[in-house]
Amino acid sequence: MTVVRPDTTLKQAPETQFPTGFIWGAATASYQVEGAAAEDGRTPSIWDTFSRTPGKVRNGDTGDIAADHYHRYRDDVALMKQLGLKAYRFSVSWSRVQPTGRGPAVERGLDFYRKLVDELLDAGIMPVATLYHWDLPQELEDAGGWPERVTADRFADYAAIVSGALGDRVGMWTTLNEPWCSAYLGYGSGVHAPGRTEPAAALQAAHHLNLAHGRAIEVLRAQLPAAAQTSVTLNLHQVRPLTGSEADADAARRIDAVGNRVFTGPMLRGEYPEDLITDTSHLVDWSKLVKDGDLATISRPVDALGINYYSPTIVSVPEQGADYARSDAHGASTHSPWPGSEHVAFHLAEGKERTAMDWSIDPDGLYSLLMDVTRDHPGLPLMITENGAAFDDYISPEGKVQDPERVAYLHGHLDAVQRAVADGADVRGYFLWSLMDNFEWAYGYSKRFGAVYVDYASQRRIPKASAYWYSDVIRRHALPPVGTV
């Protein structure tokens, strides 16, 4: 069996094409697609508990069955091959392989990922493993969750189990997916599991997620072959002030600090930014939270930075007495997911079309974000690990799913990637979110991000027009003319 490894020596291809070796993939997350929530030793994660809590998830939906990927992975991999995908980014369910979050692995759980990886390799598709996509074992949350330092210790043990089982066949690894969401939506605004609304705990969780990342990198480096690639995925916010006022500029600075630099600072520079510490000093004592050696651990080098982008973040100081949005369209809550900056107001870009999530469609935001990261961290290889959009998709009488809005969205954002590459950004690949429709967290099954339509009643898969368009992009290694489907 041939192990598919990432190409780390990219060369610029002709102008109309993407770089030679550019990776074309699609992504999913374990709780969103796998189902089989109580099979083969798996125990509840925080998302099992949260989705069963009345009023937390739309329509009372749960991930018990989801897209049934656990039982249908062979068919799903065959569909990936049909579409020409070169890589598949999946996440591992911690509760499936180490049900209590501590102790030995359950081999039946690991066997699912072994079989999935083997199926991908046999199809010529590179497996990209993400260790954590938000589904903390419930027993660890019962012990305090991410606000407790010990959870980072448990994560290192878990990383050792998974990399030990799959490291001979998986060549690209991601430690965490979007720790901003885990920390701030889970412990700040409470719109994600575990549903807590404690600003101080949210900041503690952010630090311990950073620490967990660093400890996992240490484990991966110790256990994986030298050629293996490591990364972390951040949903970096492309922050813009609403106006040119000094007050709005400071609002943007605050959100950049608590949303972006709280992660990139320690991970990529080995330090927390001073303005973040000042902004949040009334919530946590950073001198006690950050222990000796933490920053050296967190800043272990990675081979690439994964970037997830959907829409820009536009902020201002609120007008006196006016109602204003606190949540940046991540879910309704009276509690802010921005600890220390609860007073900042968020806005949608004017004059822009919106997705079914009510997010502004703005490819220029992706271009700007890539160039900002390139400027701030020169020489750091980048991956677009999530990009996509939800629209109100439906099956036509002819049995097809036409989604021209998604095709236009993807074309615009891939064009932004291509422009950024031409201007010096070292972008190594693009992973469409998502391969298929799935459990969209607090929105349940009401939002469809997939390139493949899932009829949840029958579990039938129907590739949308965007799936065929993306397949053509992969085949061409270039963008087709606008309007091509």
Confidence of residue 4 (pLDDT cuts 50, 70, 90): very low
Residue 83 is predicted with a pLDDT of 98
Name which of 40, 124, 31, 20 is nearest 69 in CA terms: 31
Other Cβ atoms less than 10 A from the Cβ of 270: the count is: 14
| Better-predicted residue by pLDDT, 328 or 224 | 224
Instruction: Examine the pLDDT at 261 and tell me if it is beyond 80.
Output: yes
272-315 tens-digit pLDDT? 999 999 999 999 999 999 999 999 999 999 999 999 999 999 99
Residue 326 is predicted with a pLDDT of 56
Residue 118 is predicted with a pLDDT of 98
Residue 482 is predicted with a pLDDT of 77
371-410 tens-digit pLDDT? 999 999 999 999 999 999 999 999 999 999 999 999 999 9
Q: Cis omega (within 30 of 0) on the bond before 91? A: no
Residue 381 is predicted with a pLDDT of 98
Instruction: Examine the pLDDT at 15 and tell me if it is beyond 50.
Output: no
Residue 14 is predicted with a pLDDT of 44
Residue 320 is predicted with a pLDDT of 66
Residue 253 is predicted with a pLDDT of 98
Active-site positions read 178, 386
Residue 366 is predicted with a pLDDT of 98
Non-local CB neighbours of 185 within 8 Å, separated by 6+ positions: 191, 192, 330, 331, 337
User: Over the chain, what is the mean pLDDT?
Assistant: 95
Dig out the tokens for 350 from the structure: 């004017």
448-468 tens-digit pLDDT? 999 999 999 999 999 999 999
